[in-house]
Structure 1
């Protein structure tokens, strides 16, 4: 699926015309569905996952066309450094719509954090839109087996 197809799909399930906000809400709803052993908190630009048995995670959904062959993540590195160095969050996940040029997560090593933190993790994560596709095909086919 291309990035344009992803954004069209995201916008098709929300009345709002703001693609970034629609993607953010989609990611939040998927994360918030499972609250077993965790607490999920939604903020203006991030989603915090506080886990009972693991370090907490800060998730930042960005509806940006990510391409693994041509990464431009200067701003993400700056945000991650600020979060890891100035908060209790040591795990920062940037979430993007999955597309044919970005379909596997990438762990980012940041020299500043390598020197100053014993434990941190920054990941770029492609987020699947399969739920939307399944719901669309279910409503179109009226298949009773669809969930």
Structure 2
């Protein structure tokens, strides 16, 4: 369990809403919530619950889903970055990193997960001329992930 999630769990068990409201108003007390870690934990929990027949493992920056029937794993990279305009432009850095991982042939299937927004509501498949020129068989998708 991530440190941010365990901290929030501990806080919720020890403090009620009035205590948290008082802490929020106090000028000398501050706490930070790591949105990336919370989003990653949310995705991991949900994927693990939805895939009880598969191996779901959370690694440093990714979640790996492995099925016994298929040798190729699916790698999910949750990213806490809100997409406000064009997804291909705003996710350029994440796409470049994913292409580098695919080029090493460490894996064949990568989904980059972003919080769903008004302008990003559908899966966007990405093709790379660099990977296509190498003749690699791969899947790279940008995926809006609903938080509820």
**TM-score, structure 2 normalization:** 0.70
Aligned counterpart for 1:120 among listed residues 138, 143, 148: 138
Report the Cα distance in structure 2 between the residues aligned to 1:106 and 1:68, rounded to whole angstroms: 14
For structure 2, the 5+ residue unaligned runs are: 1-6, 9-31
Match in the other structure for 2:45: 29
Match in the other structure for 1:91: 109
Distance 1:35 1:69, change over 3 A: closer
Deviation at 1:125, TM superposition (A): 0.2
Report the Cα distance in structure 2 between the residues aligned to 1:112 and 1:25, rounded to whole angstroms: 32
Q: Indicate the structure whose relative CO is greater, using CA pairs within 8 Å and at least 6 residues apart.
A: 1
Deviation at 1:68, TM superposition (A): 5.3
In the TM superposition, structure 1's runs of 4+ consecutive aligned residues that sit over 6 Å from their partners are none
For 1:9-28, list aligned pairs within 5 A. Answer: 15=8, 17-28=33-44
Deviation at 1:56, TM superposition (A): 1.1
**TM-score, structure 1 normalization:** 0.71
Higher Cα Rg, which structure: 2
Question: For the aligned residues, what is the CA RMSD?
Answer: 2.1
Distance 1:120 1:33, change over 3 A: same
Deviation at 1:42, TM superposition (A): 0.4
2:112 is paired with a residue of what secondary structure? strand
For structure 1, the 5+ residue unaligned runs are: 1-13, 133-147
Number of residues paired by the alignment? 118
Deviation at 1:18, TM superposition (A): 0.5
Distance 1:40 1:99, change over 3 A: same
For 1:1-147, list aligned pairs within 5 A. Answer: 15=8, 17-54=33-70, 55-67=72-84, 69=86, 71-129=89-147, 132=148
